[in-house]
Structure 1
Amino acid sequence: MTSETSARSSYKGAIRRGNAPAVVGWRWLDNLIHVHPVTTVAMFTPVIAACVWFSAGQAGGWALAGWAAAGYVAWTLSEYWGHRIVLHYEPEKGCGARLHYILHGIHHDYPQDARRSILSPLLSIPMVGGTVYLASGLGSLPLTFGAGYTIGYLSYDLFHLYLHHAKPKNRLMRHLRSLHMRHHFRDDSKGFGISAPYWDELFGTSIARQPNARTAGSGDLAA
């Protein structure tokens, strides 16, 4: 059995329907580690608004828009490399293995759980907060960079949720959903760019060209 087949089998064997149990002994703490999608929107929408508000006058309109676009691109790289290097770093035992399960492994086990489809605040707050702090602390970097980064993050989270819980009619959305389901149910060592799959093409982790398997339809479990 190849390593790819082994990984695929282990993940397919672990799939469970419904919502996941608490990852810690206290439900209130679990609700802080994995939040409802509405909570994420409520947390980060004001960040975007504040960044736009306080960036007024820092530069011309086109320059601010350019910095926002740069922030968005920075997020897509964070999404790709964070998913590939951080979320799929899988220690076999100890605290590292436990942390991996809390942050991402549980999502692969329970792909239908909406709360586990949203990036944990344990990661999202430091990533967004750190970027906004750097943007605010560097005079040459307008806060719209932070706004673009945060828009990218929030769009990714909602897009990821959509791919798991909808059955899109649009051809492009069906294709993107298919790519992500292949990551879940066929080969989790590829397909790390969820909202930005072009980075997989660039960095050699594309899952788009893999031949269809007879069991690929099991991806519907995540819908």
Structure 2
Amino acid sequence: MKNKSVESLRLFDNDLLEALTHVHPALPAIVWSPIVVYLYYYGIEIKGLPLSEVAIVSFVGLLVWTFTEYALHRWAFHFPAKSKFGKRIVFLFHGNHHDVPNDKTRLVFPPVPAMIIMFFLWQFFALFVPARFIEVFMGSFTVGYLCYDYIHYATHHFPMTSKVGKYLRKYHLQHHYQGRAAKYGVSNPLWDYIFQTVEGPLKKKVD
């Protein structure tokens, strides 16, 4: 494990590729907020969904996001790769964050790969979500993603003085310092409780 005092790791020899891995924390909100507004506008104004249905679909979209957050973190970002290539991919997506957890420009996800992932998730969810609801569903799903991105950033760089904030900060930092077999939820611990991955061997106390 790298020294946590190191500000950043170089991931690519190519300067352009390296630059693309660094993201200003405001960028996801700038990119995704207009998309969310348009998706809700399309569902409400173009498709004419009543607000009661918008509320229900929004709740479902947020709930599905929480599971997606958990699943990606647990089974993709912590995938026990065996090959050199596999280990490199896992490191690029998430391992570097565990080596340098306070890198300010690598805590939010770069918009370009995020859009690619969202495109494929849209195609997948469209198999199950009725076409009438898909825009609002994806809008709320994206809101969930933004909440995750900024809660994650806050746990590393903001004091988070509220009761909930302190809980989430401690919970996530314990994921870093208790070992990697527990506490995969970042925006909430719901699926950790469902899948019984809350507990892990304590390696470092987090205040």
Instruction: Name the CA shift for 1:34/1:90 in 2 (closer, same or farther; >3 Å).
Output: farther
Equivalent residue, structure 1, for 2:205: 216
Shift of residue 211, structure 1, vs aligned partner: 8.0
Instruction: Name the CA shift for 1:185/1:123 in 2 (closer, same or farther; >3 Å).
Output: farther
Instruction: Name the CA shift for 1:15/1:179 in 2 (closer, same or farther; >3 Å).
Output: farther
Q: Structure 1 length normalisation: TM-score?
A: 0.81
Equivalent residue, structure 1, for 2:41: 53
> What does residue range 81-160 of structure 1 map to in structure 2 within 5 Å?
81-121=71-111, 123-132=113-122, 134=125, 138-160=130-152
Instruction: Name the CA shift for 1:211/1:29 in 2 (closer, same or farther; >3 Å).
Output: closer
Equivalent residue, structure 1, for 2:2: 14
Shift of residue 65, structure 1, vs aligned partner: 1.8
Whether the 8 Å CA contact 1:128–1:149 is kept in 2: the answer is no
- The gaps in structure 1 that reach 5 residues or longer are 1-12
CA distance in 2, matches of 1:142, 1:21: 39
Shift of residue 119, structure 1, vs aligned partner: 2.7
Aligned-partner SS, 1:14: coil
Deviation string, structure 1 residues 155-206 (Cα, Å, up to 9, x no partner): 1000000001122221221121111111101121100011021210111101
Shift of residue 43, structure 1, vs aligned partner: 1.6
The alignment's C-alpha RMSD in Å is: 2.4
Question: What amino acid does structure 1 have at the position aligned with 2:28?
Answer: T
Q: Structure 2 length normalisation: TM-score?
A: 0.87
Match of 1:192 among 178, 184, 197: 184
Aligned-partner SS, 1:24: coil
Aligned-partner SS, 1:161: helix
Equivalent residue, structure 1, for 2:28: 40
Match of 2:170 among 147, 172, 178: 178
Aligned-partner SS, 1:88: coil
Shift of residue 73, structure 1, vs aligned partner: 0.8
CA distance in 1, matches of 2:37, 2:15: 31
Whether the 8 Å CA contact 1:74–1:149 is kept in 2: the answer is yes
Match of 2:58 among 55, 68, 82: 68
Question: What amino acid does structure 2 have at the position aligned with 1:172?
Answer: V
Question: How many residue pairs get matched?
Answer: 203
Whether the 8 Å CA contact 1:110–1:116 is kept in 2: the answer is no
Instruction: Name the CA shift for 1:142/1:69 in 2 (closer, same or farther; >3 Å).
Output: same
Shift of residue 56, structure 1, vs aligned partner: 1.8
CA distance in 2, matches of 1:130, 1:138: 17
